[in-house]
Structure formats: C-alpha cells, structure tokens
Structure 1
Amino acid sequence: MFSPSTAITLPAACAGAALLLLAVPACAETTDPTWKFSGFGTVGAVHSDERQADFVASIMKGSGAGRTDDWSRHVDTRLGGQVDYTYDAKWSAVLQVVTEQRLDYSYEPRVEWANIKYQVTPELALRIGRIALPMFIAADYRKVGYAYPWIRTPMEVYGVLPLGSSDGADISWRWNGESMRSTTQVLYGRTNTPLYDGARLRGRGIAGLSHTVEQGDFSARASVITTRLSLSLFPELFDALDSFGAQGRDIARRLRVQDKRASALSIGLNYDPGQWFVMGEAGRSKVDGYLGSTRSAYLSGGWRHANLTPYAGFARVWGQLPPGPTSLTLAGLPRPYAAAGSVVNTGLAAMMRAVPSQSTLSAGLRWDLASNLALKLQHERVTTRSGSRGMFINSVPDYQSGHTAHVTSAALDFVF
C-alpha cells in the first residue's frame, strides 16, 4: 500500500545513460555491475470554469484549463524514465528524463537528474551532477504522480519558486539513534534553464541545507535554499522603464530579476500509520525583484479502505509585493509621454498581479486499480485574493481578483 514516507523509492525517467555512466571510474573493484530501467507517467484531463486565466500545475507551462481551453490535457500529463547503474558497493549513477509541456508549449524532454554517487562509508555519500533540490517532503518524487495521494502536489507550497534542480554537488550524512533515522544534506551548484524565445532562468551559487528525520510512522523535513537568481523575462517592459528618467530607472533597478538574492525555507510533517495519513508543509520565499515574497502552507489527510483512498486538503499562499513604487508617476508629463507611461503602468500592474495570493479547498478519491496503476478524481475551489491572479497564467489584461474557480481533474498514474 502506498505511503508518502516510502514513495521516495519509486522510479523515474529516460535515455542516454551511457554518456553519464562513462564517468564512473573503471578502477573500482567489481565483477557484477547492474543496470535498471524504470519509468512513470500521468495521463490527465482538467476542466476549469475560470474564463479570465488558465489553471495549471506549474507556472512553467505554456497553457492550461480555463481561458485557453475548457478541458486541457497539458496540466498534469507527463512521461518519464530512469536508468540506474550500480558499478559496485561504492559507485553508482542515475539519469532521469521527463517530458511534459513547457513554457514554449513543446514537450521537449528535460534531464531532471544526472549524477554520479560515491558511497564513502555506509553513512556518508557524495554526488556530483544534476541533483533535485531537497525542498519539501515530495521533492525527490514530485514528478511521479503515483507516489502521492493527490493528482498534483499543492501549488501554493510547491510552485512558489521556479527552481527544481541544481548542477553541482552534494554531501549526505545518515545517522541513526535507537529509534530515529536522520539524514543531513548539504549542496552547492547552479542552474541555467531555457524558457522560451531566448529567455532563461539562471541561478548561481545555489546553496542548500536539508535535514530529514524518520521515527516509526512519523517523518519530517526542514530545508533552506539560497541563490543569486536571474530571470530574463519582460525585456521590452524594462527597456521602456529605463527611458522614463530617474524614476523609471529606479523602478527597473528594483524590479528587474538580474543577479538578485532569492531564498526559500520550508518545513514539512507527515504521519502515516497505514490506514490513514495526515501531512502538512509550510514555507517562505523571498526574491529581491518583481517576484516578491510569499508565505504558504497546506494541510491534507486521507483514509485508506481496501484500494480506495478518499482525501481532502486546504492550501494557502500569501504574497507580498516588492517594496517601493511599482508604477510611474505620470502627473505633469506631456500627453504623448503620459500615454506611453500609462501603457507601461498597465504592464507593471499585470506583473504585480503575478505575485501569488490564493487559497484552495480540495477533495478527491484515489483508486488503486493495480500495484502499479492508480486512477484519481479531484475537485478544487481555487480563490484568488488581494488583487493577485494567484497561480493562474495567461490572464486577461483586466483580470479581476477575488474569483473562485471550480476545477475538476482526472488522472491515471502509472509506474513500470
């Protein structure tokens, strides 16, 4: 029976493993290297009655359900595969590739994991390569829908920062007491992710610390991540701001996400005795730019009866705008400049509406059809707040916050 605390062992993603695995030292002593291929996927469909914007499972998608389409298959659908290679008791490697809709609307596969591991001692391990950031309980298996009870992880917590992996190295230390198992992980790296039309997401000096404890049916994780973030979106808007003298340049300097400090911290608790579960997480993020800062949390629980698991949850994110003015002062400007400034202010207002504030009340049912196949149905009431469009995308220019969207989803999750 599925348990979130054990789901981290479930597999993931795809091909080309040979390029990575060539780096495993040939001098290691072994006679029986082993290969393992496994995979996962989700086939989903989502309906939203919101007509002002699109509901999505990640802000890193191009379209969703609502404004673009009444029903969308792009919200949750994905396919992944994973190759695990074990050379000996000390050396191993993993490659995971996932295909799902991206910001450019394509399904171009992306390497999620690609790292080599050296087990120094039974307690100490070193890895180098692309590594999942250890934020939140489901960080290591958030792409594997089969591994958690819901159709998708709560966006209010999991979707506030667009970072998911780091290219670098980490150290993990496992230490056990009489009844408690603990793991401390320290990482350092960077990321450079293409978005669309030349836009990129860059993070340099990504540093993180995570600590996980497990005792019986209880587990918990606390994490903190910091980086220097660059996000090359809205170049025309910032160029226009620069042309409005000192006040425009000041607004652009404060809001442009160019080598700005970004940080996030989280804590999560999970209790799962088998027949039922309850779990919750809370987090805080801050970016010195137009992404602003957030506080977020969710609480969810469910009951397992045979192969059925009804569940319910509540999630909330509170967004805070970046400090200082976020619009141009147009009084006294000549009419042509005031008209151009009004257009710029409209763009700035849309940017500020993207700082998320929303709440979600959800209920659903998981039906385990087989040991590797689960059908899920889920209904959500998503309410945007405080002038924000929440976690929705593709909003209309005159988006009105405060609406409640009714979102109905179905998904078939599988692993193999």
Structure 2
Amino acid sequence: MPAQTTDPLSRCRQGLLAGLVALAAMGAAQAQETDKPSGATGLRLSGFGSLGVSHVDAPSGWGFRRELNQGGSDDAWRADVDTRLGVQLNYSLGSQFELVGQVIAKKRAHYAADSDALEWAYASYRPTADWTLRAGRVNLDVFLMADYRNVGYGFMTARPPVEFYAMLPTALDGADVARSWQQGDAQWRAKLMLGSARIGDFESTKASRVRSIVGGMLSREEGGLLLRVSYAHTRVDIDKSNIQPVLDGLAQLGSVPIPTVAEQALAMRRRLGAENGSGTFWELGLRHELADWQWSAEVVRISADPLIVLTSAYATLGRRVGDWTPYVAYGHVRDSQGVLPMPAWQAALTPVIGPVGAAQAQGLGSAVTASLNASRFQQSSWSIGTRWDFHPQAALKLQWDRVRISNSGSGLWTGANGAPSHATIATAVVDFIF
C-alpha cells in the first residue's frame, strides 16, 4: 500500500466523532421542538448503537469482517466487527417537507472517505399521503434490510447474513420516488430510483462506483407476510489506478504470437476490469411474522460479467418465548466465475522474449491468477443464537457461526489465500436505540 502522510483511519475517525458531536449538540439545543404537533416545523433526534465482541477461530492470517468496506484483522478477539454508533436527525418543514441526516461511527477500511460516515443526507417531499420523493444520499432500497442494516436492534440476528449483505452498498447518491396504496387488506409499495453508489473491497483498493443506476422495487404486505422484488441496471466504473501497470503488462502479453498465452492474458485483463461494463441486480425477499414465529429469506443475482457473476441467499427462523428469541440461520454465496488455472507460460515465452522476460511474465500471470482466485466469493455458514429483549430499547444477542469456505472462495476475508477452510465465530452483542 502506498505511503500516506495522514492515517486515513484516524482522519475518518475524527470525521465520525465530529459529525456525531455536531448532531448531538444540535439535537440537545432544539430538543424542545420534538413534541410539536404533526405538520409543524420541528427537529427530532434519535439514535442507535451496538456494543459487540467476537471470538474468531480461523486460519492464521485470515481476517473476518461483516462487510467489504470494513477493515479486517486476524486477531482472535474482536470488538470492532459489530460495534457502531449512529445518530439521526429529522427536521420537519410542515407536513410535506423533511430533511434527514444520519451519521454512523463504525470501523471502516483504509480507503474509506470521510464522507462515508454520512450514511443518509436527503430532502424528502410528500405531495400527497401516497407519494414520497427524496433527493440526496438515500438508502439503497433494493433489499429487505435497506432501512436498518446498521440498526442491530431492528433485526433478530447478531449481524446481517454476511454471505448476502457483505457485498452490497448501503447508500445511493441520487433520488427516488415511491408510491404506496391499499388493495383490500394488502399494502402495496412501488419505488423507482436513480443515482450512483460506492462499491468494492476497500481493504485492498480504492472504492469504485456503480453509476447510472436505474432500479425499481415492488412490495406487498398482508397478514404479517411481506413479499418484495427488486431490479437494478447500472454502469460499473472500476478504479484502476493501483493496477494499471498490471493491465499494461497483460495487454502486452495479449499481443505475443502465442495463442494460448495471448488468450489467457487478455482473459485475466478483462477479469480485472480493464474495460468498464454494465451490471444487473435481481432480488427476491420474503419476511413473515406469525404469532411468536418469524422468518425471512432473500436471494440475489448479481451479474457484471466478466467482473463478477454470483448468486447469494439466506434464510433465518426464530421463535419468541417470553423475552427470548432463539433462532437458526443459513447463508450461502456462490461465484459463477470459474477458478482460473495457473498459467504455464515460461517455456513457451522463453524463445520469444528471452529467459528473463519469460520469468517476469510467468510471475505476473501467476500473481494475477492467485489474486483473482482468492477474491472469489464461495462460502456458506450455519448460525444458531438467541436474542434477549431485556429492556424496551435494548437487546442482548448471543450467536455462534460455523463457516465453510470453498477452494478459491475466500473473498469475504482479508489476508486469505484462497485455500478451502473452516472457521467459527462466537459473538455477544448488545443493541440499543434511543
């Protein structure tokens, strides 16, 4: 990683704390406005947080994380995986206009921008009770937990299923328009969204973006059963500043008069994102609450060939017994991009570019292949746990995960080498709202 004069994590931490302090101060100064009647101008302050500790038993050097924009660590005991603090301000300008801001302090990776702490920052307009228009930085409403994936108190498990949510961006810089309507006993909701979002593994590269997002969502809820489907099409812009020399080297190898070497080199170049392309996103989600039982399931298909083609799914099931809710969960992600075979170029290239150049080309091909294979997502996990609602605004969760990582499928971990393996994670977390 290139040397930097300022520690990005320190910069980000300072920005987070400054934002939280500013929001808290504003809320305290105008707290008297929170009790104004509906339709009046007023400020409302709310917040949420999680205090968690995890013990991770994984291969040496492997770092667990719950999302790709989170820095990893191979420490056995971790207090930074789930711990976070969020503050939200809602400022109403009458019954139709509202300004919303949300700041979240949590562990972020090396290249995270200071502005990432600002999770939401948008203006909302409701011309009628059925229509809502928002513009700014809004939640990316293409999955079940879009509104509350950082609010641990809002869901049953210790964290959102890693195999599903670790790869998904949280915020959309743009606008959306939604309409709700009643049909019999069913509540329908439709939304159209436009904008861009930051993506990528921030631990190893600068964030890239998906731009020109055009997406839609349709949901139906009746009798405790929520069904929803989402679709989005986007243009993918990969930041190539850190890998441009590699791309140039592969392009040169793609012109050598040896078909096998040329084809493999160009295929690697495409997999690295040499040419920006487009992608599609499909999601189907279900959530049901019936008496003391609650379950949810989601499946997503992400395709941005040749960069990534994967299918991810999870299911959770729990039953409330008094203040306790024991549960079980399963998650799985499958990468449809095949494992690349290790190239054998040196012997074929030696007569063409000499022994030194052939050795360098072989080293480049081997390194790129190992990196691409290690960045694939191919794992599954079983989780068992329980939630104890010991306070109306706080809950304790205990969870144990057993994770199986397939060969060349360790992309959700930091420092992993792509070897097949297993890991166990034991977590205790207290989630609260205020």
Q: In which range does the TM-score fall when normalised by the shorter chain?
A: 0.7 to 0.9
Q: Which amino acid aligns with 1:376?
A: K
Correspondence list, 1:99-110, <5 A: 99-104=105-110, 110=117
* Residues 230 and 257, structure 1, Cα contact 8 Å, conserved in 2: no
For residues 275 and 31 of structure 1, the distance between their equivalents in structure 2, rounded to whole angstroms, comes to: 36
* Equivalent residue letter for 1:244: L
Structure with the higher fraction of residues in helix conformation: 2
Q: Which of 118, 122, 144 is the matching residue for 1:115?
A: 122
Query: 1:337 matched to which residue of 2?
Result: 357
Distance 1:105 1:128, change over 3 A: closer
Q: Separation in 1 of the partners of 2:215 and 2:339? A: 26
* Structure 2 Cα separation of the partners of residues 197 and 316 of structure 1: 23
Q: Distance in 2 between matches of 1:175 and 1:16?
A: 38
Q: Aligned residue for 1:174? A: 180
What is the CA–CA distance in structure 1 between the aligned matches of 2:163 and 2:410, rounded to whole Å? 13
Selected match of 2:332 from 313, 316, 326: 316
Does residue 46 of structure 1 match 2:20? no
TM-score by length of 1: 0.85
Aligned-pair distance for 1:338? 3.1
Q: Are 2:374 and 1:366 aligned? A: no
Deviations 1:5-49 (A, max 9, x none): xxxxxxxx957679xxxxxxxxxxx98301011111111111111
Mapped partners of 2:348, 2:413: distance in 1: 36
Kept after mapping to 1: 8 A contact 2:39/2:95: no
Q: Distance in 2 between matches of 1:192 and 1:380?
A: 29
Query: Shift of residue 106 of structure 1?
Result: 7.5
Give the aligned partner of residue 376 of structure 1.
397
1:38-85 Cα offsets, whole Å, 9 max, x none, are 111111111111124212101211214xxx201111211111110001
Contact preservation (8 Å) 2:227, 2:286 = yes
Partner of residue 253 from structure 2, selected from 207, 229, 244: 244
1:259 aligns with 2:285: no
Q: CA deviation at 1:330?
A: 3.9
Checking the alignment, whether the CA contact within 8 Å between 2:268 and 2:369 is kept in structure 1 is no
Distance 1:106 1:43, change over 3 A: farther
Q: CA deviation at 1:170?
A: 0.8
How far apart in 2 are the matches of 1:107 and 1:310?
38
Shift of the 119–160 alpha-carbon distance from structure 1 to 2, 3 Å rule, reads same
Which residue of structure 2 lines up, in the alignment, with residue 202 of structure 1?
Answer: 209
Aligned residues of 1:100 and 1:107 also touching (Cα < 8 A)? no
Secondary structure of the equivalent of 2:175?
A: strand
1:268 to 280, 285, 291: 285
Following superposition, the deviation at residue 243 of structure 1 comes to: 3.9
Match for 1:277: what amino acid? Answer: Q
State the Cα distance separating 1:211 from its structure 2 match.
Answer: 0.9
Measure, in 2, the Cα distance between the counterparts of 1:306 and 1:209.
39
CA distance in 2, matches of 1:364, 1:287: 35
What are structure 2's unaligned runs of at least 5 residues? 1-18, 25-37, 256-261
> Quick one: which of 388, 412, 416 aligns to 2:430?
412
The 5-angstrom pairing of residues 131-170 of structure 1 reads: 131-161=138-168, 163-170=169-176
Question: What is residue 13 of structure 2 aligned with on the other side?
Answer: none
Contact 1:174 1:181 in 2 (8 A): yes
Instruction: State how many pairs are aligned.
Output: 385
Contact 1:288 1:322 in 2 (8 A): no
- What are the within-5 Å matches in structure 2 for residues 294-305 of structure 1? 294-305=310-321
1:15–1:82 CA contact under 8 A, matched in 2:
no
Give the drift of 1:342: 3.1
Larger gyration radius, structure 1 or structure 2: 2
* Structure 2: distance between partners of 1:102 and 1:80: 14
Within 5 A, what are the aligned runs for 1:72-87? 72-87=78-93
- CA-to-aligned-CA distance 1:316-375 (integer Å, 9 cap, x gap): 111111699885744411232332233322233222221201110110111112111111
Residues 374 and 416, structure 2, Cα contact 8 Å, conserved in 1: no
**Identity value in percent:** 29
TM-score, normalised with respect to structure 2? 0.82
Q: Which amino acid aligns with 1:238?
A: L
* Partner in structure 2 of residue 5 of structure 1: none
- Aligned counterpart, 2:419: 400
Question: CA distance change for structure 1 residues 207 and 394 in 2, over 3 Å: closer, same or farther?
Answer: same
Aligned partner of 1:32 in structure 2 is: 40
Residue in 2 that maps onto 1:281: 298
Deviations 1:157-210 (CA, angstroms, capped at 9, x unpaired): 22234x222111111010111100011000101235794798232221011101
CA distance in 1, matches of 2:395, 2:216: 34
- Call closer, same or farther: CA 1:386–1:400 in 2, change over 3 Å: closer
8 Å contact kept, 1:321–1:352: no
Please report the RMSD computed on the Cα atoms of aligned residues, expressed in angstroms: 2.7
Distance in structure 2 (CA, Å) of the matches to 1:198 and 1:382: 25
The residue identity in structure 1 corresponding to 2:56 is S
